[in-house]
Amino acid sequence: MKLTLKVWRQKDQESPGHFETYQANDVSPDMSFLEMLDVVNEGIIDRGEDAIAFDSDCREGICGTCSVVINGMPHGGHRATTACQLHMRHFTDGQTIYIEPWRAKPFPVLKDLVVDRAAFERIVQAGGFVSVRTGGTPDANAIPIPKEDADRAMDAAACIGCGACVAACKNASAMLFVAAKASHLNTLPQGKVEKDRRVLGMVAAMDKEGFGNCTVTGSCEAVCPKEISLDFIRQLNGEYLIASLKGK
C-alpha cells in the first residue's frame, strides 16, 4: 500500500507546530500502525532528518502510552483497539491519513506526537489509592465480595490511563478516566472506607489541571480502548454529590 501521511511536527513545548506531509510506500497490511511509523522514521533518519517522535511501550494494548489521533479519532477509532494494536489493513491504498497528538491544555505537546500526561498522575495522587497497607495475599473469601461488585471493579480497573477519552471529548473532559480510577476502588470494601475523601480529592485535582466538563456526549466511551462505560461517570457524579452533601 501507498499512503500519504500528514503528521504534526513540533520541535518542543514552546515552538508552534505544523503538519508535514510524508509518503509511505511499501506499507504492508499486516503492519501495526506504529510499525508503519517506524518504517517511515527509518526513511526520515536515512535522509538525515529528525525522526517523528511518538510514544509507545508495550505495543500490545496494555500500557496506554501510544497516544495518537488518527484521522481525527484517538487510537484510530476502532472498537476496543489501541493505536499499537491497529493494523494497516483498516486503511486503503492511496489514502491520506492525518496523525496528530492529543489536544488538551493539561496535556502539553512535548515533541511531535508526544504529550505530557503527568496531569493524570497528579489526579491519581489526589486519591486514586488505598491508604493502608493491605499486606500479603489474603485468604480467598476472607472478605466476601459479591461477584457483581468484583466484576464491576475489574471493568473500571481495565483503564490504562491512555487519555483517549480526553482527546475525543469536545470539552477535553477527563471524567471517564477519573470515574474509572475512583470507581474501581470505591466499589471494593478495601477502598470504600475512603470513598468521600477520594472523590473530593480527585475531582479537585481534575479541576485544577484545567480539564473540561462532561456534557454526556458519549465520545469518550466510544473511543476508549478498554470500553470503560459512561456508567462510571454516573457513579462518580452520584458519589461526589453525596460526599458534598455530607459537608466533607
In the numeric block, which cell numbers belong to residue 164? 483517549
By CB under 6 A, tell whether 82 contacts ligand FES: yes
Print the binding letters for residues 144-163 with ligand SF4: x by CB under 6 A, - otherwise. Answer: ---------------xxxxx
By CB under 6 A, tell whether 157 contacts ligand FES: no
| Smaller CB separation from ligand HEM, 28 or 215 | 215
By CB under 6 A, tell whether 57 contacts ligand FES: yes
Chosen from ligand SF4, ligand FES, ligand HEM, none, partner binding at 215 (C-beta under 5 to 8 Å by type): ligand HEM
Q: For helices 147-157 and 175-186, give the axis angle rounded to 10 degrees.
A: 150
Residues 13-42 that bind another protein (CB under 8 A): 19
Residues 196-235 that bind another protein (CB under 8 A): 203-204, 206-207, 210-219, 221-223, 229-231, 233-235
| Smaller CB separation from ligand HEM, 23 or 215 | 215
Which residue ranges make up the site for ligand SF4 (CB under 6 A)? 64, 159-165, 176-177, 180, 224-226, 228
Which residue ranges make up the site for another protein (CB under 8 A)? 6, 19, 69, 71-73, 77, 98, 100, 103-106, 168, 170-173, 203-204, 206-207, 210-219, 221-223, 229-231, 233-241, 244-245, 247
